[in-house]
Structure 1
Amino acid sequence: MPAQIYAPFERFNFSNKFCFLTGEPLQSEEEKIQVFPQWLMSRYNLEESPFKLLDESIATYKDLKLPCSANINDTFIEPLEQDIAKAFASGYGAVKALDELKLFQWAGKLLYGIVFNEIQAGIKLMHAQGEEFSMSQSILLKFSQLHLMLQSINLPIIFEDFKPFSLFLFKVNNKEEEFGYRDEINTQTFALRINDFGLVICLQDNASNYYYHKQLYDQIRNDTLHPIQFEEFSGKVFYSNYLFNRLPEYNILPVGDDIYIEEMPLRGLSSKPLFDEWQNKTYGQVLENFWKNWGFLLLEIIKNPEKPMSFLLDEAGNKIPADQIRLPI
């Protein structure tokens, strides 16, 4: 008999009384795990750091938790965390050697944990105002599909000849104690820059962003990047995933004890390109945000509207070596 998939969005079950991954009842509401794992918070002193939620309220990193059964945590979550923690502590080479699916599961669990906390906060706020909490159908579908794919952590789920994600990994000259993290929940885009590496993941695009940026990625993927170069590439991916205009759909096929997930064609019945048109002014606004540490303003970035400022490629389209980059202090 095939394993049973848990679908919390069908009944909108976001109570702390049930395991986030399986829906099984918990022994106590204290049965929880940290969204940002303890090893990561301890390494970068994040516990008391502020974390801003979508409703503008401020939590701390340690406040963000997920209800999770002790059995699921011990059997599946903790081994995954140990593999990721060991690789991240070792650095770029070890991260590169990891199974990409593990990176997807780990990043997806973290982002879903934030979504879970956002939904709980939204439900409380709406109930306090005497209103029902609601979400758009497209966002609902995105989050439910992410949760489905997260169950590859604990169920025999097989992705049938496709990757549900795009992953970009670089070696980066980071400062030793630097913790660079950002996410975009609606597009399910995640970036992390620590130790000697940086990674960007689009969690639910069926590798579309990977192919969108493949030419540039192939050109620079084996280089060690300056942090501003990594942030530039991240900005490109965050913006392109915003332009990605399809909502992937899947067939779920139980076969024996396994569950196969098969991608539906992204083009569907539409002749429209997968990505909306790139606008350099909007991209420049994204870069301004990603380059905040270096103080570049939009007017500088798009001084030439046809060719925004770049630290990755020169005017002729050649790679700029990281050691040739000179920045204002």
Structure 2
Amino acid sequence: MESEINFYTNFTEETFDDNTCFLCGSGCEIKTAEHIFPKWLQHKYDLWNKRLTVTNDTTIPYRNLTVPCCEKCNNEDLSRVEEKFQSLLDRSFENLTLEDEQIIFQWSAKILYATRYKELSLLVDRKNPDLGNILSPYELEGYSALHLFLQSIRFKTTFHEPKPWSLFIFNCKDDEFFYHNNIVGLCFSMKFGKIAFTIVFEDNNVIEDFMEGLKKLKDYPINFPQYLEVNANLFYSAIIKENVPKYITSYNDNTKEINVDTVGILRSRKWNDKEYAYLLDHILKSCGIDIGHSTWHPDGTITSFLVDENGEHLTRKLFEK
């Protein structure tokens, strides 16, 4: 990645301490605490006292998931994104424009990146502090492109085609909130009751094209196991990425605008049904769903919940249209 002007503090210069803004990377003259999962979300879905499982399989209350943030980034830039995102959620993400998608991209990228940033300060084992923290600054460098993309919250940004994300919207049957991610695949899904979205980062829209049939599921309200199966498909598609495209970024100091261009294309290794089934098994079990056996069968078939009221496989019907 290249930048004509150092319009934010990059990874080689950041200190990653409690007095440094997680977003712009500069020291905080007035430090505030940015809630990774915004307060309005926590209150709306009763998350304040609930706990999120982080990378080392320990849990932390949602209310304690905060990162240091300067006053401007918190009260101006991030607040503006929050307001726009809430408006999109209120209309169930209907009729999204590219600008709308960019708001969802910014909102969700902040959550994924900030969660990893928080792990810089969390011990692997609080009873054995010598083991160090969950994440090191060196490991966080794998999120440097995402961190750069987040500057679009602060400055007008043009992401030249292809856009560096794939977005899927789903209608669900139950009213529960749910969140899960896949760190390896750089993707996550969030369910706001009856509406949900799943997003994959840095895939240059390839997975959205490859899984176009799943986008049509928006017309079919799905139950929770079906929702998890859809995410297993998308998460596995993200996991098998073999390379991430490179990005060239330029910043115009006069107009205060960023331009992002892609160099190269995404390549993925061959889909492996057995590997996919193991991921589906893991997701189901982690959500307390036990079907009594693996979804993988010796004859090579995989158990699927994605069937309609007539027993017809929805994926077959949607991908054939």
1:219 and 1:303, CA in 2 relative to 1: closer, same or farther beyond 3 A?
same
* Matches of 1:230 and 1:132, distance apart in 2: 33
TM-score normalised by the chain length of structure 1? 0.82
Which position in structure 1 is the counterpart of 2:261?
Answer: 262
CA contact (8 A) 2:202 2:245 kept: yes
* Paired residues for 1:75-154 under 5 Å: 75-93=76-94, 99-121=100-122, 129=130, 140-154=140-154
User: Within 2, Cα distance between the matches of 1:305 and 1:90?
Assistant: 44
Matched, 1:71 2:72: yes
Aligned 8 A contact 2:278 2:296 in 1:
no
1:162 aligns with 2:159: no
Question: Residue 207 of structure 1 aligns with which residue?
Answer: 205
Quickly say closer, same or farther: Cα 1:279–1:153, change in 2 above 3 A: same
- Alignment check: 8 A CA contact 1:88 1:195 kept: no
1:284 aligns with 2:277: yes
Change (3 A) 1:120 1:199: same
Aligned-residue offset at 1:247:
2.0
Q: Secondary structure at the match of 1:191?
A: strand
Map 1:20-99 → 2, pairs under 5 A = 20-29=22-31, 31-93=32-94, 99=100
String of CA shifts for 1:182-209, please: whole Å, max 9, x gaps. 0122322110112221110012211121
Contact 2:119 2:135 in 1 (8 A): no
Alignment partner, residue 312 of structure 1: 306
Cα distance in 1 between the residues matched to 2:125 and 2:289? 39
Task: Note closer, same or farther for the CA distance 1:66–1:97 as it changes in structure 2 (3 Å cut).
Answer: same
Quote the sequence identity (%): 23
Paired residue type of 2:290: G
Give CA deviations for 1:154-189 in whole Å, capped at 9, x if unaligned. 0122212221111111222123xx111101223221
Task: State how far apart, in whole Å, the 2-side matches of 1:144 and 1:262 are.
Answer: 16
CA shift, 1:57, in A, is 3.5
Q: Is residue 2:228 matched to residue 1:231? A: yes
Contact 1:87–1:98 at 8 Å: present in 2 too?
Answer: no
**SS of structure 1 residue aligned to 2:119:** helix
- Secondary structure at the counterpart of residue 242 of structure 2: coil
TM-fit CA distance, 1:266: 1.9
Change (3 A) 1:111 1:253: same
- Equivalents in 2 of 1:315, 1:132: separation in Å? 45
Distance 1:284 1:47, change over 3 A: same
Q: In the aligned structure 1, how far is the partner of 2:236 from the partner of 2:15?
A: 32
Equivalent residue, structure 2, for 1:324: none
User: CA shift at 1:252, angstroms?
Assistant: 1.8
Q: Which runs of 5 or more residues in structure 1 are unaligned?
A: 268-273, 321-329
- Report the TM-score, using the length of structure 2 for normalisation: 0.83
- In structure 1, what residue type is equivalent to 2:17? S
- In 2, the alpha carbon distance for the partners of 1:143 and 1:315 equals 37
Cα distance, 1:101 vs structure 2: 0.3
* 1:236-251 pair list within 5 angstroms: 236-251=233-248
- Letter of the 1:208 counterpart: V
Please tell me whether the aligned partners of residues 192 and 198 of structure 1 are also in contact (alpha carbons under 8 angstroms): yes
Residue 120 of structure 2 aligns to a residue in which SS? Answer: helix
2:249 and 2:21 mapped to 1: Cα distance?
A: 22
Q: CA deviation at 1:281?
A: 2.1
**What secondary structure, in the 3-state scheme, does the structure 2 residue paired with 1:173 have?**
coil
Q: Name the aligned partner's letter for residue 217 of structure 2.
A: I
Amino acid across the alignment from 1:186: V
Is the CA contact (8 Å cut-off) linking 1:220 and 1:319 kept in structure 2?
Answer: no
| CA apart distance, 1:141 | 4.5
Distance 2:305 2:56 in 1: 35
Do the aligned partners of residues 131 and 194 (structure 1) sit closer, same or farther apart at CA in structure 2, a change above 3 Å counting?
closer
Map of 1:275 onto structure 2: 268
Equivalent residue in structure 2 for 1:197, among 189, 195, 198: 195
8 Å contact 2:116–2:135 — kept in the other structure? no
Q: 1:62 to 1:130 in 2, by over 3 A?
A: closer
TM-aligned CA distance change 1:318 to 1:205, over 3 Å: closer
CA-based RMSD of the aligned residues comes to: 3.1
Q: Deviations over 1:70-90 (max 9, x none)?
A: 222222111211222233244
Secondary structure at the aligned position of 1:112 is classed as helix
Opposite residue 162 of structure 1, the aligned amino acid is P
User: Higher strand proportion, which one?
Assistant: 2
Aligned equivalents of 1:124 and 1:316: distance in 2?
44
Q: Mind listing any 5+ residue stretches in structure 2 that lack a counterpart?
A: none
Counterpart of 1:263 in structure 2: which amino acid?
A: T
1:157 is matched by which residue type in structure 2?
T
